[in-house]
Structures are given as structure tokens and as C-alpha cells.
Chain A
Amino acid sequence: MKTIQTRFGEVEYDPANLLHFPAGMIGFPTLHNFIVMPNKKEGPLFWIQSIDDPAIAFVLTDPSNFFPNYQVAPEESEKNSLQISDDDDCFVLSVVTVPPDQKITLNLAAPILFSPKTNRAIQVILENTEYQSKTPLPA
């Protein structure tokens, strides 16, 4: 096990069990490896902590918790990035923006595709979509 100092304190992690973003997050191309942090509380939110930059962490959620009809299928090139074939699972996650007033929004325009088999993830931008980068939770 290794540890890093983050803005949330010291975090212990297993280097063999990281979430790998081959292309980084959009706007953060050099951040390739993240620790998946279990939420201390119950609920649909969890967070990933960059080990390349301890100041960077994203809150994520499974968007189907809030938007049951939201679906994103990986394109061929995205399957290659994830190193998966057609039969492998590919899960969709959304980046959550958490402002101090707690009126959170989900970025449905740029979901994260995640393969549990390879522990690889990529953030993609949906083209020609009505989904917004700042989607409030359904009322």
C-alpha cells in the first residue's frame, strides 16, 4: 500500500488497483491515475482522487440513479481505448459539480465510460445531444 497527502488528508491506496484514464480527464490530460474513494456516507455519490495531482478530485455518480433513460454506448475507438471487446461490460458515470449551495448538477454532455474488466476509463463528449453539461437533478 502507498499513501498520498490530499486536500482531504492522507489517503492510503493500492497502486495495483487504480482507475486508469489513458487520455486523462478533458482539460486534465496529464492526470492518468485515480483512486476510487468509497463514500463515507450512504448515497449515490463517490469520488475519485488523482494521484498525479493530490489537489484534484472529482465527485462521480451512476447517472441512472437520477436519469433512468440515460444511456451511452462506446464507439469502436472508445472500446479500443478501454481495451475491451463487444462482450465486455462498459459502465457510464457522470461527473458531478457540487457548488456550496448543494444544488448539484450532472455533466450529461461528457460522461465517463468505465470498464470494470480493465479498470480503464475515458471521458467522452457527446455530439448532437440535448444533454447538458450542467444538468440539475430531476425535480
Chain B
Amino acid sequence: MLVLTRKSGEGIVLGDDITIKIIELKGGGVRIGIDAPRDKKIYRQEVYDRIIEENKMATQWDMDTLVSLSTNLSTEKKDK
């Protein structure tokens, strides 16, 4: 990983269309400003990682559970 030291107000340019700026350092946190094209998705890493984890868990199912679940769910619907 490339590691750079930046001060408040300084920035980093990624490629032709992304600029990252250190806005402020405060209370152990860093406020960061990002300029990027609208179609570039930007996520907090823990949010992104959580979705990856959830997707991985979602691949771990078996047909027997699904079949019996489907039976229960469609019976519940009919009961309503």
C-alpha cells in the first residue's frame, strides 16, 4: 500500500478525475472531502465489507431448508 503524509488542506489526486482532500483533523478523526464523477460509487469501507459478508452468507443455504421454508411462507400468506 502506498502511504503518504498529508496536512489539513492538502490533497491527493487519483487518476484524472478523483481528488481527495484532508479537510480537518479533529478528536482522533479525519474529515475527508472527495471529488469524483457521479457514477463512481464511494462507500465507507465497513459498510461495503458488511455487504460482502452478507452476500457470502447468502450463498450458504441448502435446498431442503428453502423448500420447507417456501411451504411455510406460502401457507402463512394463504392464512392472511
Binding-face segment, A12-20, A43-51, A113-121: A43-51
0/1 string, B51-80, CB within 8 A of A gives 1:
111111111011101111111111001000
Measured between C-beta atoms, what is the minimum distance from A52 to chain B in Å?
A: 13
> Do residues A95 and B54 form an inter-chain contact, with CB atoms below 8 A?
yes
> Do residues A110 and B54 form an inter-chain contact, with CB atoms below 8 A?
yes
Instruction: Label chain B's interface by main secondary structure.
Output: helix
A26 cross-chain contacts in B, Cβ below 8 A: 48, 51-52, 55
How many A-B pairs fall under 8 Å by CB? 99
Residues of A in contact with B, size category: 35 or more
**In the bound complex, CA of A58 to CA of B38 (Å):** 29
> Do residues A107 and B51 form an inter-chain contact, with CB atoms below 8 A?
yes
Q: Knowing A41-B74, A133-B50 are in contact, say whether A97-B67 is a contact too (CB < 8 A).
A: no
**In the bound complex, CA of A8 to CA of B52 (Å):** 23
Q: List the 9 closest A-B pairs by CB distance, nearest first.
A: A27-B52, A77-B39, A43-B70, A41-B70, A43-B74, A98-B61, A42-B74, A110-B51, A133-B54
**Would you mind naming 11 contact pairs between A and B with Cβ atoms under 8 Å apart?**
A25-B55, A39-B66, A41-B71, A43-B71, A45-B73, A58-B55, A95-B55, A107-B55, A125-B41, A127-B43, A133-B50
